[in-house]
């Protein structure tokens, strides 16, 4: 049996905290897509930790963590992260496992990401520059090096071949930065990677499932960044939705049980691309300040706006969401009035569907207003104590999106979550 936790917006919904909260109920936590573009924040004994490659179950001694085949893995980021986690008393050699089919991000992927973004100029994606796009392109282009290849003597030949191919592309981009230092740390990190548990991920995880163990699949990014269903081309390069769990871990769709979708009580986006409910005014600034909306991976300020129910309902549909977790509800505590977007006005017509493309059309959000609750909710622990205005806000969202909000997160701490 596999449950899933994934983002329903444009990423940074608070998945790390939610996975960390639920992890003790699971035997296995597995990342199924994305790479070090992810930044999942959690608090361990009051200490802040941001995970990019390692699944967010790592701080629970009895939980096994798997980096699945659908992930793209940067050995340098992984090594740094393992060092940090080890310093916090976690034995990664005991409870971290990596699929041999996981694709490796090489230094030239990062260089290509940078070169491609530079060439795009104004129309850049706003990528995290971690090499994600180029690494997935080499996967679908059937050129990639995978973790299992590290253990084979052909590895260095494969690397040189890929490096030469990339160099030609970099020359085309007129990319002249020296990446020798990146390559040195890459080869050093590969030595470390060779000491970790590399397994046949699909057999490993299916064996756990047949033994009755409970698996939690942890999504990265968010549904509106999905390569097929997101706001293309301003998306990431993987399937971030629940379907990605099957291809990213090698599990059957029949095994998928609960799909927990995480959404903020409002909305943010980092990087370029359409964002119909974006507020480029004082209210947007207040959301950013109150919500401390700065990227966990790049430190960039996140764009902020009201919750977009058109996009949220769409995300629930394509993921088959069974339960919604609403995070950062406390950020709305200080707002007198709140808004939710219930339709998009395009060419004078109101629509409740996400259009094929959102960049070439002018979308005006249609809002419904709510009275704010105006009390500090951060120390509330029971649903019955939540302000009635918050309950009305949540009821409206439940009805609109057709999936129930079952949990409300009211602060970044592990214990700040209320079951409804």
From candidates 34, 35, 39, 305, binder to ligand GDP by CB under 6 A: 39
Residue 133 binds which entry of Mg ion, ligand GDP, ligand IMO, none, with Cβ cut-offs from 5 to 8 Å by kind? ligand IMO
275 binds, among Mg ion, ligand IMO, ligand GDP, none (CB under 5 to 8 A by kind): none
When CB distances are held under 5 to 8 angstroms depending on the partner's kind, the choice from Mg ion, ligand IMO, ligand GDP, none that residue 126 binds is ligand IMO
Torsion region of 320: left, alpha or beta (phi above 0 gives left; psi -120 to 50 gives alpha): left
Please identify, using beta-carbon distances, which residue of 220 and 343 lies nearer to Mg ion. Answer: 220
Residue 372 burial (C-beta neighbours within 10 Å; 0-12, 13-18, 19+)? middle
Catalytic site includes residue 40: yes
The active-site residue, picked from 12, 20, 74, 226, is: 12
Q: Does 223 bind ligand GDP (CB under 6 A)?
A: no
Asked about 12 being catalytic, the answer comes back as yes
- Closer Cβ to ligand IMO, 36 or 365, answer by number: 36
Residue 240's nearest CA partner among 43, 3, 8 is 8
HSE value, Cβ hemisphere, 13 Å, CA-based, for 357: 6
d(CA 22, CA 368): 33
* Structural element, H or E, at residue 112: helix 107-120
Give, in degrees to the nearest 5, the angle at Cα 197 between 195 and 200: 135
Give the residue with the Cβ less far from Mg ion, 12 or 308: 12
Q: Which of 40, 52, 109, 166 is catalytic?
A: 40
Per-residue mark of binding to ligand GDP, 293-332 (x: CB under 6 A): ---x------------------------------xx-xx-
Nearest to 4 by CA among 194, 307, 190, 249: 249
Specify the residue, 148 or 293, whose C-beta has the smaller distance to ligand IMO: 293
Shortest Cβ distance from residue 296 to ligand IMO (Å)? 6
Q: Which residues bind Mg ion (CB under 5 A)?
A: 12, 39, 296
Distance in angstroms (rounded) separating the CA atoms of residues 117 and 120: 5
- CA 364/CA 164 separation, integer angstroms: 47
Among residues 401, 377, 373, the alpha carbon closest in space to that of 388 is found at 373
Judged by the rule CB under 6 A, the positions of this chain that interact with ligand IMO are 7, 10-12, 34, 37-40, 125-128, 130, 132-133, 220-222, 225, 236, 270-271, 296
**Interaction partner, residue 236 (ligand GDP, Mg ion, ligand IMO, none; CB < 5-8 Å by kind):** ligand IMO
- Residue 44: phi and psi, rounded to 5, are -115, 115
Strands (DSSP E) found in 203-328: 215-218, 256-264, 267-269, 303-305, 307-308, 323-327
Supply the minimum distance, in Å, between the C-beta of residue 385 and ligand IMO.
30
Between 23 and 220, name the residue whose CB sits nearer to Mg ion.
Answer: 220
Q: Which residues are catalytic?
A: 12, 40
Per CB under 6 A, residues contacting ligand GDP are 7, 11-17, 39-41, 296, 327-328, 330-331, 409-412
């Amino acid at each position: 049996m596999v449950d899933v936790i994934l983002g329903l917006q444009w990423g940074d919904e608070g998945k790390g905290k939610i996975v960390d909260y639920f992890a003790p109920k699971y035997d296995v936590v597995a990342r199924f897509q994305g790479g070090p573009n992810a930044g999942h924040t959690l608090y361990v004994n009051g200490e802040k930790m941001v995970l990019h490659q390692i699944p967010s179950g790592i701080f629970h001694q009895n939980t096994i963590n798997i980096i699945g085949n659908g992930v793209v893995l940067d050995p340098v980021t992984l090594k740094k992260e393992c060092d940090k986690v080890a310093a916090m008393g976690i034995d990664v050699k005991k409870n971290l496992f990596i699929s041999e089919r996981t694709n490796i991000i090489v230094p030239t992927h990062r260089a290509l990401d940078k070169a491609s973004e530079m060439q795009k100029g104004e129309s850049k994606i706003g990528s995290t520059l971690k090499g994600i796009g180029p690494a997935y392109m080499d996967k679908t282009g059937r050129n990639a090096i995978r973790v299992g290849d590290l253990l084979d003597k052909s590895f260095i030949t494969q690397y040189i071949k890929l490096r030469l191919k990339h160099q030609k592309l970099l020359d085309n981009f007129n990319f002249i930065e020296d990446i020798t230092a990146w390559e040195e740390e890459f080869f050093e990190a590969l030595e470390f990677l060779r000491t970790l548990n590399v397994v046949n991920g699909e057999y490993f995880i299916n064996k756990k499932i047949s033994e009755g163990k409970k698996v939690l699949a942890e999504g990265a990014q968010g549904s509106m960044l999905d390569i097929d269903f997101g706001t293309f081309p301003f998306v990431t390069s993987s399937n971030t939705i629940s379907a990605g769990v099957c291809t990213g871990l090698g599990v059957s769709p029949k095994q998928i049980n609960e799909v927990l979708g995480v959404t903020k009580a409002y909305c943010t986006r980092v990087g370029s691309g359409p964002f119909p409910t974006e507020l480029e005014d004082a209210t947007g600034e207040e959301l950013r300040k109150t919500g401390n909306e700065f990227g966990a991976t790049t430190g960039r300020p996140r764009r902020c706006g009201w919750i977009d129910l058109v996009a949220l309902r769409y995300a629930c549909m394509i993921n088959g969401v069974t339960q919604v977790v609403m995070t950062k509800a406390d950020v709305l505590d200080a707002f007198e009035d709140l808004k939710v977007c219930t339709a998009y006005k395009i060419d004078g017509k109101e629509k409740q569907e996400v259009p094929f493309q959102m960049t070439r059309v002018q979308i005006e959000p249609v809002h419904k207003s709510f009275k704010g609750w105006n009390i500090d909710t951060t120390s509330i622990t029971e649903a019955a104590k939540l302000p009635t205005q918050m309950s009305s806000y949540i009821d409206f969202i439940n009805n609109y999106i057709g999936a129930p909000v079952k949990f409300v997160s009211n602060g970044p701490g592990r214990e700040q979550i209320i079951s409804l």
